[in-house]
Amino acid sequence: MTLSLFFQHLANGISLGSLYALIAIGYTMVYGILRLINFAHGDIVMLAAYIAFYGAAIFMLPWWVSFLLAIVLTALIGIVIERSAYKPLREVPRIQLFTSAVAVSFLLENLGIVVFGGRPKAFARPAFMDITIRIGGANVVSYTFVIIGVSLILFAALLYVVKYTRVGVAMRALSKDIETTALMGVNTDRIISIAFAIGSGLAAVGGILQAIKFPQINPLMGVMPGLKAFIAAVLGGIGNITGAMLGGFLLGVAEILIVAFFPNLAGYRDAFSFGILILLLLFKPTGIMGEVEPEKV
Amino acid sequence: MRSKKFSLFISMLLLLSLLLGACAQAAEPEAVEPGEAAPAGEELEEIVIGVYEPMTGAQAAGGELTMQGVYLAHAQVPEVLGVPIRLVLVDNRSDKAESATAMTRLIEQEGAIAVIGSYGSSNSMAGGEVAERAGIPVMGCSPTNPLVTSDKQFYFRACFIDPFQGRVMAKYAIEDLGVERVAIIQDVAQDYAVGLAAFFQAAWIELTGSDEGIVAFTSYQTGDQDFTAQLAAAMAENPDAIYAPGYFGDAALLARQARELGFEGYIMGGDAWEAPELIEIGGEAAEGLIFSTHYHPDAALSPTSAQFVADFEAEYGERPSAFAALGYDAYMLVIDAIERAGSFDPALIRDAMAATEAYPAVTGNITMDANGDAVKDAVILTVEDGEFVYLTTVSP
């Protein structure tokens, strides 16, 4: 393999990985606070892409207005889902919360098929993101830089929020113990809503960037990336934001490289990702950055 | 406590009634033996012709295009042997398991005496097993994999099959385009794509005498969105052309990414590329794509084609696709078989279908061969200024 080809693969892998990372963060935030695997997360990705699509295609909004609108609306939808499907179940065994998440996921997918139609739609890429640039023998389209840039900026902003703001402190406290945090005078419902809004907002960015990279959207577009992001979150150590980022990038690059080095195994690419998940759960369920925590009694 | 017991009792009762209902429904088609009912044709209020097509999922566009043709044909010929036809469409969701379920529902619940469908060879193979056991004849509109009809007594089709289609494209690539090095990228999750890739490869070896010209052979999975790894690996071998027999949605993304990675050669595919989505999603990358398919209004494969195009344009305000034409033909072939059988007995309809000879269909004259496959011409299309444009016709 020549060096330029390797760079080509690496560029492809990193741009795929940033998408996984953005979606993985939402999984990890919700899990960190509620111990809930929010399986509807991938479908929120889909909703954002459709809102952005309709904003630009039907209402003729400039692309940045429709993207912003999609992010805000999706964050609100995230809050509504939490309030209606998860909050009433906070006191019951967690398996029911999980079941409710799966139900929301199916509801959104099928609603998507009914409302948006089953046929895929073409997503228009803003012109400045559609320029092919040649760097050291590798062809890179300008959206790749946008995806990586946006991801890094959002990661930095999120880390700042979680580490240094009052909301961030409250979130971290919630993830340790909800009841005690409530006793300290923290409005837990509000913090949980904010966590869902941030997670869904990031998923929205992920959805829009995914639609830019792969300009074909359909009601089931969030399923696979959602599962992959879940693997990335587990890989990085679920509950850990830096881990989710790392896991996303790693998974994206690994997926591309496995096809690059073993073209005959290209059809088993997804099997490879899920194989990683199984091995992780068997041998290192805490992932790369996760910490072992004693089970609360 | 009492109310809990009571609700348990009620739910058991409901469950029981559900079971009874299901039994009653399953028994229904047997109660009315279609064969016995046939002589007393006037007493029948209606007969059911079932259609199973992908109306949602990755292949939804193909299903919708096909249904345009089926609905047009049904509007033109709404009854057969003096009995009105009720057309029942069941969505198979582009999914193998759902296809088997859809076929079961059409036969057992709706009492279909014949079935049309489906777009997608994998869907058709799953549905075909069910129809074969039930003894209900099926007329496939566009499933091209040979396995759909081989070893099946009750499955027929209005289209050609992939050994022919693969050869058509290999021959065109070598002789007309002058391709010397080709990379094949197949959708490994679709019987259609795997078959077509293999037949293309076989024809290539036969025509050039060696497999040296096939410089890369790799795969992806239906619904994959990222093809950059496969493309970059294939392009490292400097191919003149990429042959990617998959479905339109994936193909559009693949073509786009190939151009983004700087590929300048030909990108070729099969009949499953024909859908508006190929052009909408592919954008500029769709320009110059080349693929083989069943029909094009400009190809004029048969005398009935002109009338069909006129009727179609009057109904839908656009030109018909190959799949609409095949949907139309499939419906008309079923009607033709019922008329020649003179009966609504599925077994007799099956025999009449098998005996179809020189039927003047829109997509060409159809004669069923021993396997139940139509032997017909293929056309080669390209994309020019956002339209499918006819290049040439290739005969078997």
CATH of the domain at A128: 1.10.3470
| Nearest-CA distance A263 → chain B (Å) | 6
Share of chain A above pLDDT 90, in %: 54
| Residue that has been written with the tokens 């007393």 in this structure | B40
Within 8 A by CB and 6+ apart from B353, the residues are B137, B139, B156, B333, B334, B337, B368, B372
> Which domain, by its residues, includes A97?
3-283
Q: Which CATH superfamily is domain B163-293 in?
A: Response regulator (3.40.50.2300)
Whole-prediction pTM: 0.84
Poorest-pLDDT segment among A257-266, B156-165, B321-330: A257-266
Q: Is B165:B146 a contact under the CB 8 Å cutoff?
A: no
Strand B378-384 to B387-394 pairing: antiparallel
| Residue that has been written with the tokens 């997509």 in this structure | B363
Structure tokens belonging to residue A276: 């990683």
- For domain B37-160+301-376, the CATH class is alpha beta
* Mutation for testing the B interface, residue in A216, A253, A265, A270 having most B CBs under 10 Å: A216
Please count the CA atoms within 13 angstroms of the CA of B68 that sit on its side-chain side. 23
* Mutation for testing the A interface, residue in B219, B228, B278 having most A CBs under 10 Å: B228
* Mutation for testing the B interface, residue in A3, A4, A5, A8 having most B CBs under 10 Å: A8
Would you call A119 and B277 a contact, using CB atoms and an 8 Å cutoff? yes
Tallying the residues shown for chain B, one arrives at 396
* Sheet strands (E) in B221-289: 241-243, 266-269
Would you call A263 and B218 a contact, using CB atoms and an 8 Å cutoff? yes
In a domain, A228, yes or no: yes
Chain B interface residues (partner A, CB cutoff 8 A): 55-58, 60-61, 64, 188-189, 216, 218-221, 223-226, 228-230, 232-234, 236, 249, 252-253, 256, 260-262, 277, 280-281, 283
Highest mean pLDDT among A50-59, B39-48, B129-138, B294-303: B129-138
Q: How many separate domains does chain A show?
A: 1
pLDDT at A34 over 70: yes
DSSP helix/strand/coil, B385:
coil
For the segment A17-33, the average pLDDT, to the nearest whole number, is 89
Query: What is the rounded CA–CA span in Å between residue A151 and residue A158?
Result: 10
Cross-strand pairs, B378: B394
In a domain, A68, yes or no: yes
In order of A53, A69, A134, A167, A202, the CA distances from A72 in angstroms are 14, 5, 35, 19, 10
* pLDDT in the model for residue A263: 79
DSSP helix/strand/coil, B182:
strand
For the segment B316-322, the average pLDDT, to the nearest whole number, is 95
pLDDT band at residue A269 using 50, 70 and 90 as cut-offs = confident
In a domain, A295, yes or no: no
* Mutation for testing the A interface, residue in B260, B264, B279, B323 having most A CBs under 10 Å: B260
CB pairs under 8 A between A and B: 103
pLDDT at B51 over 70: yes
Phi, psi of A21 (to 5 degrees): -60, -45
pLDDT at B40 over 90: no
Please count the CA atoms within 13 angstroms of the CA of A43 that sit on its side-chain side. 21
Question: pLDDT by residue (tens digit) across B288-317?
Answer: 999 999 999 998 778 899 999 999 999 999
DSSP helix/strand/coil, A292:
coil
Tell whether A2 is within 8 A of chain B (Cβ).
yes
pLDDT band at residue B10 using 50, 70 and 90 as cut-offs = low
Tell whether A126 is within 8 A of chain B (Cβ).
no
Mean pLDDT of chain B: 89
* pLDDT in the model for residue A77: 96
For the segment B135-156, the average pLDDT, to the nearest whole number, is 94
Question: pLDDT by residue (tens digit) across B128-138?
Answer: 999 999 999 99
pLDDT at B9 over 60: no
pLDDT at A96 over 80: yes
Cross-strand pairs, B138: B115, B155
For the segment A91-96, the average pLDDT, to the nearest whole number, is 87
| Nearest-CA distance A211 → chain B (Å) | 10
Contacts of B189 in chain A (CB under 8 A): 267
pLDDT at B18 over 60: no
**DSSP string spanning B118-177?**
-SSHHHHHHHHHHHHHHT--EEESS---GGGTTT-SSEEESS--HHHHHHHHHHIIIIIS
Helix axis angle for A188-213 and A223-236, nearest 10°, is 120
Q: Is A57:A39 a contact under the CB 8 Å cutoff?
A: no
Phi, psi of B89 (to 5 degrees): -105, 130
Would you call B58 and A218 a contact, using CB atoms and an 8 Å cutoff? yes
Query: What is the rounded CA–CA span in Å between residue A258 and residue A275?
Result: 13
In a domain, A294, yes or no: no
Contacts of B226 in chain A (CB under 8 A): 12, 16, 214, 255-256
DSSP B56: S
Task: Please give the single-letter amino acid code of residue A2.
Answer: T
Within 8 A by CB and 6+ apart from B237, the residues are B181, B183, B215, B216
Would you call A266 and B220 a contact, using CB atoms and an 8 Å cutoff? yes
Contacts of A216 in chain B (CB under 8 A): 225, 249, 252-253, 277, 281
pLDDT at A297 over 90: no
In a domain, A288, yes or no: no
Instruction: Choose the closest CB to A267 out of B64, B221, B225.
Output: B221
| Nearest-CA distance B152 → chain A (Å) | 29
For the segment A201-211, the average pLDDT, to the nearest whole number, is 93
Q: Where are the domains of chain B?
A: 37-160+301-376, 163-293
Contacts of B232 in chain A (CB under 8 A): 5, 8-9, 12, 260
Query: What is the rounded CA–CA span in Å between residue B142 and residue B145?
Result: 9
Mean pLDDT of chain A: 89
For the segment A33-42, the average pLDDT, to the nearest whole number, is 87
**DSSP string spanning B279-303?**
HHHHGGGGTT-EEEES--GGG--ST
